[in-house]
Structure 1
Amino acid sequence: MNIVGVLFTILYLYASVSSHNQENEIPSSNQDFIKELNQENIYFLETFNNKDTFSSVWIKSQALKATGDGGTLKYDGDWILEEAVKDALPNDIGLTFKEKAKHRAIASKLSKEFIFRDKPFILQYEVLHQDGQECGGAYMKLISKQRPVKALSDFNDKTPYTIMFGPDKCPVSKLHFIFRHKNPLNGSFEEKHCKPLKHKIDESFTDFKPHLFKLVIKPDNTFSIYVDHKLVNDGSLLIDFTPPVNPPSEIDDPSDKKPSDWDDREKINDPSARKPEDWNETAPYQILDPNAVKPDDWLEDEAINIRDPSAEKPDDWDNEMDGEWEAPLVPNPACEEVSGCGPWSPPLINNPEYKGKWVPPLIDNPNYKGVWTPRKIPNPDYFEDKNPFQMSSIDALGFELWSISAKIMFDNVLITDDEAIAKKFAALTFDRKILNIEKSADTLLNQFIAFTNQYPWLWALYVVILLIPVTLIVVCCFWTTKDTDAEHKKDDDKPQSSVDSSNQPSPVTQESTQTNSKEENPSIEIQEPEKPEPPVTNDDETHEPTVISDDDDDDDDDDDDYSHELIVSADYDDGSESYLTYADDKEKEESHEKEKSHDETEGDQETVLKQRKSKPSKNN
């Protein structure tokens, strides 16, 4: 297992080093980015990383905002540059504010004017709701070049814009895409609002992570909206906006009126129907139940509520100021165990005689002419704009916002006509942020999995590494079980009266027993556990049975106090009997003493055995 741990540690360290080597710091100026990108296709780029040039590039509004009641408000909300509260990359700064519920506006000139002609328009920027969002916007306005007031210090809510794009919540979450379309007949502008999103973006307001909002409009009048590189909406400028770009060719004639004899009632009351004579319109909907009976335990003389007898008038009660004091009402305890108290009345039930007001049945209207609609006339304001992509050119952009929540951060704004540049810029900025956040939030296991997914062959290595200890454990357990089963089987094959090899008889006794067995072939009888009486010979000699013991202690003997005895009785032809007794545990000391005595008198025992053989048999 130590080998497995070492290998995993090495792989993790390698993954950490590899990730660190791939991570680069965010460049400190916009020019560092432009060097890596084709600046001919860039109309605006801002990373907010250069505090020294910020005040000269971004102009805070000094204008006044008109209110509905005829008053004005100042755009006095703060704008500051600082790092994100958490998971900020080195040298990465964003535009944010700290004051809540303030009107604020700020704008900046584009590097060059964008003309909607034959190149796609691509806008992307990051938004980070560091404190979430209760109510407020984080959208951007692309300011039209043709405007009455050119100074960005006068930027306000009435400043003409070409496109408004970005997130908003109050209280519903939205992602605005509005463009102002110019009427080719009279030159007036009208806002066109994009259809609702296909996917919700609520999480972008609550997860405290930066999100990349991207808008792509192409010369073929199609558009695409992305959030964090994922498509959330797309369609056509011609058909997916409200009101539509092109008005209808015909409209209702405003002078047309519905004729007085026009009957648009599809159904009418049957004029021939008559109310039945037994129809009672005055019968009530509900009546008192005539079958109800007052319960026997109903206490009519008891009040449902009584004055609380335990209540006391407060010490500070002033009768002149507060009036006469009365104890509060509490439920009458006498009513708790009965059906009810107070005056009894039968319950209400539905009246079986009720029919309600009579109305005649409906029939088809014979004079029905259908739904009336005014006639159509040619629309005097009709026009057909086949290329709404050709919007008013833009030369500036800005944020004109109000928000209850603070610390909304904007970063890495880009306007280009090349999608490859937009993707590369996102890879240099937004993608690095997300990678850094994921790395900071990841557990060791998640980092390990992510690194392994980059090198799939490591999965096979992990399997091999894990199989080694598993295989060893299985083999060890299998062989241990097999050896144990074999030992049990060996013990089961032995006779119940047999003893361990370590408890065999002494050589002298064993030899004597074998000799007698060969000569006389006596019958062997095993008796357990009772110990027989010692045999008596014809000479009235009493012979002690031979006790065989082993000096070695058996494991079974240590675990159990049960004393085993093996008594072997042999009947000889001459009528004599021989006994072989094995005892352990409780008789072990006695066995040792007898064995010692037996060894000393080996010759005498052989003589005794021969004498037994010479005795006449009982059968004789």
Structure 2
Amino acid sequence: MELKVRLRWAVLLVGVALCLGLAAAPHAPPALPGDYFFAESFARGTLDGWVMSSGKKANAGMATAYTKYDGEWEVEELALASSGAPEGPLRGDEGLVLKSKAAHAAISAKLRRPFVFDAERPLVVQYEVNFQRGIDCGGAYVKLLTHDPSDPAGLDLGGFTDRTPYTIMFGPDKCGDEFKLHLIVKHRNPATGEVGEHHAKKPAKQIRSYFTDKKTHLYTLVLQPDSSFQILVDGELVNSGNLLNDMIPAVNGPAEIDDPEDSKPADWDDRRTVPDLDAVKPEDWDEDEPREVPDEDATMPDGWLEDEPESVEDPDAARPEDWDEDMDGEWEAPEIGNPRCNAEDTPGCGPWTLPMVPNPLYKGKWKAPKVANAAYSGEWRPRSVPNPDYIEDLRPFARLSPLGAVGLELWSMSEDIFFDNFLITSDREAAERWAEQGWRPKKEAEDAAAGRAEAEEAERGNKGPAGRAVDWVLANGFYAAVLLIAALLPVAVRLYTSRKGGNVVPAAATGGAKTNYKKTDEPQPDVKDEEDEEEEEEKPKDLNG
């Protein structure tokens, strides 16, 4: 009967696995929005349209002036082991993966057409990131590379480096315990033509979990023609402001600046206090008293071994075979800490001396006390003059340089950073639909898997091997079916052949233990065939006894 139960379990598990495997729906990439400047879901499974940089990164202040961008990029499926959610919505969902760690990596792709900032349409930038192996130090931000309409050759993506001009940098970055969500905007001063780099203030919301939970997160930047901006993660607002008021440094510089020609007058005294010239050292002030003195009340602790040295020769040390006394001198064994001094009941070894305590008579070197400075002129500052470069730009959005490409120029100490579903558009509703079709299935699958993992962990102690096997099949679908069939088929065959093969003595005939006898010439007990015995058990018993 036990054999039949095993076979039934095997058939049941294989059936469940096959059903779930067939039911797992394949991944469906998001539909392209109606109007967009760039959209990439990696549904083709290739890097078509993307260019890996062959340029070199500048290393300021280092022995090597330049470093190659040798980080590796691949298009791969979201790692099921990392996401914890191998259901249909994730199976086949491929994205761009940074495979290398401790290496500089750069890759970029051109927009369908340049995005030109004007007063009529916003800029919406959106993409997904999953730190599949966590993140120690590194970034996952995007650079929106600047398009120069006057350059007929256009952007050289093969030469993309850290020096390639960009208009906006946006996305997560971490090193040590510092978690950042960058928004960096490069604005050209209309008066001087100089390009300044301006950073958004830090988010007020806690963003640590986006880096540590190993889930796929959706990063969205919305920059409006009125120069206001919103930064969202997973559709929730985490930072907002305006390019005019909430950037460091401010987009519009100060109207006045310190006069570079001004200098502090020679008679200007900016000392708030000065030594009291009328003060004298007290007669009882002894500068020779030491800071610490021996504690005369102390006594040697019980168990102190005064005759034991603190260190002894290492008894296990041996003179090296190549030691030459003529060249190296007389060999002496190295010393180690005295084992007797390290015993728990031994407070110490060697000559005991009185411990030192603070000296109550110590006063140190005398200094005259400070008093208010009667000649204090105040804190000096140079006078203010009009800023010759000042111009009040009330529409910085419209003055941003056009966008021509999206690029990732990164260095990370963690590998397998997953990027997916890049979108650059002016239609916020289109971006929300793109997220619902591309990111939402990931979130639901990952959240469901996390919830199941917690519940399963709580119930794991109450389940037997069969129950855990069924749970595993339920969690892994089609792939589980293939593996399970491959694993159980030899077991089932073995069980079947062992049932039909040698002579099996039922437990009833051997006092509770089954015995397999080899074919020999030795006499064996007369035992009924197991099938006959089972048939007799299944026959109805005589009701008359």
Output the CA distance in 2 between the equivalents of 1:394 and 1:304.
79
- Residue 295 of structure 1 deviates from its aligned partner by 6.9
Taking the aligned partners of 1:210 and 1:293, their CA distance within structure 2 comes to 65
Corresponding position of 1:169: 174
Which secondary structure does the structure 1 equivalent of 2:397 belong to? coil
Change (3 A) 1:253 1:66: same
TM-score under structure 1 length normalisation: 0.60
Q: Would you say 1:378 and 2:389 are equivalent positions?
A: no
CA, structure 1 residues 23+238, in 2 after alignment: closer, same or farther (shift >3 Å)? farther
Equivalent residue letter for 1:115: V
For 1:368, the equivalent position in structure 2 comes to 376
Higher helix share: 1
Specify the alignment match of 1:108 in structure 2.
Answer: 109
Contact in 1 for aligned 2:155/2:404 (Cα 8 Å): no
| Higher CA-based Rg | 1
Is this contact kept in 2: 1:130–1:408, CA < 8 A?
Answer: yes
Match of 1:123 in 2: 125
1:182-261 maps to which residues of 2 (within 5 A)? 182-261=188-267
Question: 1:341 and 1:143, CA in 2 relative to 1: closer, same or farther beyond 3 A?
Answer: closer
Q: Is the 8 A contact 2:99 2:416 kept in 1?
A: yes
Residues 77-111 of structure 1 show CA distances to partners (whole Å, capped at 9, x for unaligned) of 33222211113624422111323333332222222
Match of 1:60 in 2: 52
Match of 1:136 among 122, 135, 138: 138
Could you say which residue in structure 2 is the equivalent of 1:156?
A: 161
Q: What is the aligned counterpart of 1:77 among 71, 75, 78?
A: 71
Q: Which moved more, 1:390-399 or 1:195-204?
A: 195-204
AA matched with 1:76: D
Per-residue CA distance 1:452-492 (angstroms, 9 max, x = gap): xxxxxxxxxxxxxxxxxxxxxxxxxxxxxxxxxxxxxxxxx
Match of 1:618 in 2: none
Alignment-derived partner of residue 452 in structure 2:
443
**2 CA distance for matches of 1:267 and 1:309?**
61
CA distance in 1, matches of 2:71, 2:143: 18
Return the offset for 1:418: 2.0
C-alpha separation in 2, matches of 1:338 and 1:129: 53
Q: Distance in 2 between matches of 1:401 and 1:366?
A: 58
In the alignment, the residues of structure 1 paired with residue 344 and residue 156 of structure 2 have an alpha-carbon distance, to the nearest angstrom, of 82
Q: Aligned pair 1:276/2:293, yes or no?
A: no
Q: Distance in 2 between matches of 1:361 and 1:236?
A: 52
Query: Is 1:47–2:41 an aligned residue pair?
Result: yes
When residues 323 and 24 of structure 1 are mapped into structure 2, their CA distance, relative to the original with a 3 A threshold, is closer
Alignment of 1:522-537 (within 5 A): none
SS of the residue 1:200 aligns to: coil
Which residues in structure 2 correspond to 1:412-491 (within 5 Å)?
412-443=421-452
Indicate the SS of the match to 2:37.
strand
Structure 2 residue aligned with 1:556? none
Structure 2 stretches lacking a partner, 5+ long:
1-20, 81-85, 457-545
Question: 1:129 touches 1:205 (CA, 8 Å); kept in 2?
Answer: yes
Which stretch has the larger CA shift, 208-217 or 349-358?
349-358
1:511-550 correspondence to structure 2 within 5 Å: none
Listed one character per residue, the Cα deviations across residues 160-187 of structure 1 (whole Å, up to 9, x for unaligned) are 1111111122333221111110011121
Q: TM-score, normalised by structure 2?
A: 0.68
Alignment CA distance shift 1:423-1:311 (3 Å): same
Q: Is the 8 A contact 2:270 2:376 kept in 1?
A: yes
C-alpha contact 2:128 2:439 (8 A) present in aligned 1: yes
Q: Name the structure 2 match of 1:402.
A: 411
The whole-number CA distance in structure 2 between the counterparts of 1:421 and 1:397 is 19
Aligned-partner Cα distance in 2 for 1:292–1:378: 73
**Are residues 1:96 and 2:97 paired?**
yes
2:307 equivalent among 303, 309, 319: 303
Kindly indicate whether the alpha-carbon contact (under 8 Å) linking 1:305 and 1:331 is maintained by their aligned counterparts in 2: no
Percent of residue pairs bearing the same amino acid type: 41
Cα–Cα, structure 1 residues 296 and 362, in superposed 2: closer, same or farther, change >3 Å? closer
The more displaced of 245-254 and 194-203 is 194-203
CA contact (8 A) 2:313 2:336 kept: no
Residues 45, 76 of structure 2: 8 Å contact kept: no
Measured after TM superposition, the shift of residue 156 of structure 1 is: 2.1
State the superposition RMSD in angstroms.
3.5
Q: Which amino acid aligns with 2:202?
A: P
Partner amino acid, structure 1, of 2:446: I
Q: Using the alignment, how far apart are the partners of 2:438 and 2:303 within structure 1?
A: 82
* Aligned partners of 1:416 and 1:422 also within 8 Å: yes
Kept in 2: contact 1:303–1:332 (CA 8 A): no
What amino acid does structure 2 have at the position aligned with 1:79? W
The structure showing larger relative contact order (alpha-carbon pairs under 8 Å, at least 6 residues apart) is 2
Query: Per the alignment, in what secondary structure is the counterpart of residue 191 of structure 1?
Result: strand
Give the counterpart letter for 1:404 in structure 2. M
One-letter code aligned to 1:167: P
